[in-house]
Amino acid sequence: MKKIKIFALAVLVLLCTVLCACERKPGEESRGLAFELNESGTGYTVTGIGKCKDKDVLIPKEYKGLPVTAIGEYAFRKTPVVKITVTENVVSIASNAFEGCGLLSYNVHETLNYIGTEQNPYYALVSAPENSKDSFSLHADTKIIADYAFGDCSVKNITVPNGVTHIGANAFYSCGAMTEVVLPETLTHIGAEAFGNCGNLKEIALPKKLAFLGDSVFLYCMKIEKITFGGTEAEWNDVSKDGWDSYFGANYEFVCKGE
């Protein structure tokens, strides 16, 4: 009987050791996620859950010595994750990255869904409810707006807070009622078709720090009358913007405010 008790105790100790070894410590990055090197070779995108068993996922800051900068299409589709935490290296989140994640808990501010870093719970605005409000007040700590975050919303006017650096592709696509959008001076990146099909948008001011303007960013915005850039013509020429005005067609005035 004594030998049986000793054996049972040994098994219990071994089991506890294994479980403790498998359990992720607070603040420790998740392991086993699937990654893909981006086209420029400068960073990685999370493409899937891979072999990771975590339900509370902390996206690594780096992978193979390069920053993890994006969460790709369907990356966590229909997985049982309950929480996603990113680092400030992440600047892009695909619109369907969390499709079917029924257990995922967002940080909510005025009906807007966010995921955060360990220090900032409102780092990335992921989605807004469709057809619910004429205007939204984004959290002051917002840094990036995910792809299609406001897609098909009934929003009429919106002010993007200072501190936001990236607006994702299709972020405001088909916001047909939108007549006014105010962009912050901190903004450096506007993704492809970000304001596509915003048929009532008449005027927009682009900040001086803008470095990238995606393809067809004003797709089918036929009522735009004026686009203002905060910098000089030379600074505008330095902006990466191939194809930015494709399928635009509006008869608009363009002004470099810094001249």
Mean pLDDT (whole number) for 113-121: 98
- Where does the pLDDT of residue 131 fall: very low under 50, low under 70, confident under 90, or very high at 90 and above? low
Task: Please choose, from the candidates 87, 89, 32, 21, the residue with its C-alpha nearest in 3D space to the C-alpha of residue 55.
Answer: 32
Q: Name residue, tokens 């105010």.
A: 182
Looking at residue 101, the DSSP 8-state letter turns out to be: -
184 neighbors 162 (Cβ within 8 angstroms): yes
Rounded to an integer, what is the distance from CA 81 to the centroid of its chain? Answer: 18
β-pairing verdict for 112-115 and 124-127: antiparallel
Task: Please choose, from the candidates 202, 203, 205, 157, the residue with its C-alpha nearest in 3D space to the C-alpha of residue 184.
Answer: 205
Would you say residue 241 has pLDDT above 70? yes
Mean pLDDT (whole number) for 17-27: 54
- Where does the pLDDT of residue 20 fall: very low under 50, low under 70, confident under 90, or very high at 90 and above? very low
More confident residue, 28 or 27: 28
Give the DSSP per-residue string, 19-46: HHHHSPPTTPPP-S-EEEE-TTSS-EEE
Would you say residue 24 has pLDDT above 70? no
Mean pLDDT (whole number) for 219-225: 93
Give the whole-angstrom CA distance, residue 70 versus residue 210: 20
More confident residue, 210 or 27: 210
Query: Bridge-partner residues for 124, per DSSP?
Result: 115, 144
Q: Name residue, tokens 């070894």.
A: 21
Q: Please, what are the domains in the chain?
A: 26-105 (3.80.10.10), 106-259 (3.80.10.10)
Give the whole-angstrom CA distance, residue 41 versus residue 39: 5
Would you say residue 4 has pLDDT above 70? no
β-pairing verdict for 107-109 and 112-115: antiparallel
Give me the pLDDT at residue 21, please.
Answer: 40
Q: What percent of the chain has pLDDT over 90?
A: 81
Give me the pLDDT at residue 132, please.
Answer: 63
- Where does the pLDDT of residue 95 fall: very low under 50, low under 70, confident under 90, or very high at 90 and above? very high
Give me the pLDDT at residue 23, please.
Answer: 58
Task: Please choose, from the candidates 227, 219, 164, 159, the residue with its C-alpha nearest in 3D space to the C-alpha of residue 194.
Answer: 219
Would you say residue 3 has pLDDT above 60? no
Instruction: Characterise 76 by phi-psi region: left (phi > 0), alpha (psi -120 to 50), beta (else).
Output: alpha
- Which pTM value belongs to this model? 0.89
